[in-house]
Structure 1
Amino acid sequence: MHSWWASISKARARIESLSSILSLPLSSLTDSDRPALSLLSSSPVYSALSAALSDPLSGSGSDPLCHWLYDTFLSSDPDLRLVVFSFLPLLAGLYLSRIHSDPSPSLAGFEAVLLAIYSSECKARAGKPSLVAIPDLSQPSLYHTPRTRSPGPPSRASAGVLWPPLEPQVAVKSTKRAAIVGIALDCYYKQISQMPSWSKLELCRFAAAWAGQDCSCRRQFDGDEEKVDGFRALEDGNGSEDEIEIDGVVEVVRNLAIEEYGVNLEPKGARIPLPWELLQPVLRILGHCLLAPLNAKEVKDAASVAVRSLYARASHDLVPQAILATRSLIQLDKRAREAVKAVAAAAAANASSNANTPSKAKKPEILLVSK
């Protein structure tokens, strides 16, 4: 009972502190039975905090919002940590985009939050690598032990290393930046089932901007019926083209649509280097956004666009593991969308057949009344 009340009191104190920073009344959140989770699902708070963090002068060591996120994460309350994780895609996206486009301004506030998450995970792993068990494919089944064992030495399941042992870091160095942000995003992935939709949308939009590829290979696996109307018009020769002659060379400027799959894809961020230690957790998050059944349609659509952009980037950079991973996600996305279309078509056909089939006249009911 005491720990429950202490958790609520701590959450209310953090909400009141955030209210004073944002100059936003949050009494409805502090009065709720579970204030931390109410803060997590509050769209107005996310919009206000997102606008403040997106300010060009944000992210410095004196930024009060960065101090609030840092102190809230160090509170060790699980629900309050979820609130910090929900802003991690925005914070990591702004940090990486700014540090690679204009490295002069100080982003010590962003780095402090990322280091706090990294240090917490480093302590939790206790210097051990993160492993994944790879089953022995020579066995007839992945889930059952065969009754008759084949002669020879017993087979052993091998283990793959997802992450090597983490080294403690006291500052974000350029050589460790991708690893620190990647570990933070991996921690986000562990809690992704509890993240709100707008948090996932932020990561999808930043991932598409980080890829920075807008070439035709993005739509390599899409059929004609799945192409964006703007792209289809240009390929058919019906799109609007402005020819600009520069040094005797005619360049075709094509106005491409800003929206794909009905999702606003206005660029948010900048093209950045994508080493595997950063790309791996991003792809895991995008895989959840694509395939988790409870995700909103706009989340799946934004993830679909981001994965295609990353595939184009990997194809140009010639990164085999990234090509394989993104191509697999694209194929899974296509199959999932085809399955949804098939179910919808079957339901429509069933409804039309039921409407055209005349219903049989019911026999009149005969009631027997005893005298």
Structure 2
Amino acid sequence: MNALSEFHWLRPEWLWALLPLAVIGWGLLRQTSRLSAWEKQCDPHLLAELLIRRARHHRWPLVLLAVAWVLAVIALAGPVWQKLPEPVYRTQAARVIVLDLSPSMNASDLRPSRIARARFKVLDLLNRYREGQTALVVFAGEPFVVSPLTDDTKTIAALVPTLSPELMPVSGDHMRTALRMADELLRRAGIQDHGEIVLVTDGYDDPAGTLEAVTALRAHGRRVSVLAVGTEEGAPISLADGGFLKDSTGAIVVPRLDPAALSELARQGGGHFVHLSADDRDIDALSSNPIVQVREVRPESARHSMDRWREEGPWLVLVLLPLAAFAFRRGWLTVVALAVLTLPPDPASASGWQDWWARPDQQGVQALQVGDGKKGG
């Protein structure tokens, strides 16, 4: 893109500081024009008696002051026309929530049911996850990805209320496969040596295979935490027709929570083990001490990059340095101060400050009113 089209000021309000300089310059121009008019009307040998001339070398401090003033104002206003990419460093956290949708999650030992309470807790977790990326996997007889890793947790939250064991095409408990799928999601996202898996479940049927999967995850740098859903007393599993789930012998199935087995699962995974609670203690524990990694977000990632403008004003300060050196010459500041304070020249030079506000005849009347007859005449 053309640099001229990108040109702008970072602090344009500083340009108002040029107005006082413009007023002083206008006064100097008026003085010059009035002196030229007198030179045309009077003989040269009379001008020395009529006008108070300023030495030409006294104008150089004013010229240098004007140049320095303009350069300083431009530098302060911040001229820019080139944009530079600036890498952004952010805290990167990644976690996968694995939700159990096996038939036992329909047990009613937690009111209204285990799955209903589990869904609420998943929503609470999503609300806590404000940084990084989150994915959601559900499983029963087979695992399914509800959402891959994303930083849009609101989209995941919108899907959670629809999740239930009845949606799963195959009943069962393939937790081991679900854990491996969670690991695969993290790996595909480029997260090789960190990441967390939060398992929301009421138990598992394959202790040896599940522990083996968790041990492998831990070796990859993953951390597995467990939110246990249910009670040790258990309760029957309600069916849609109003009855209860029965086994092959006709006995009513009463799934009971095994805290020791789930606690061992979390211990092997290096994570937290918590019971589902009526308050936020379980959520506080699961969201504490997250596994994070500070990484650089590359500039080509438009969503996470920030741009800054390269300010060119400081280069003008280098030009000001030789001009500032003149200020150390003896009497230079005094000349500038006197020149500025006496602009426009006094009335004896035929171009006084009062000329800006009143005509010569009006000035004479005002002088007579104050008793200055000599001036009024």
* TM-score, normalized by the shorter chain, greater than 0.5: no
The TM-score with structure 1 as length reference comes to 0.17
Greater helix proportion: 1
Greater strand proportion: 2
Which protein, 1 or 2, shows the higher relative CO under an 8 Å CA cutoff with sep ≥ 6?
2
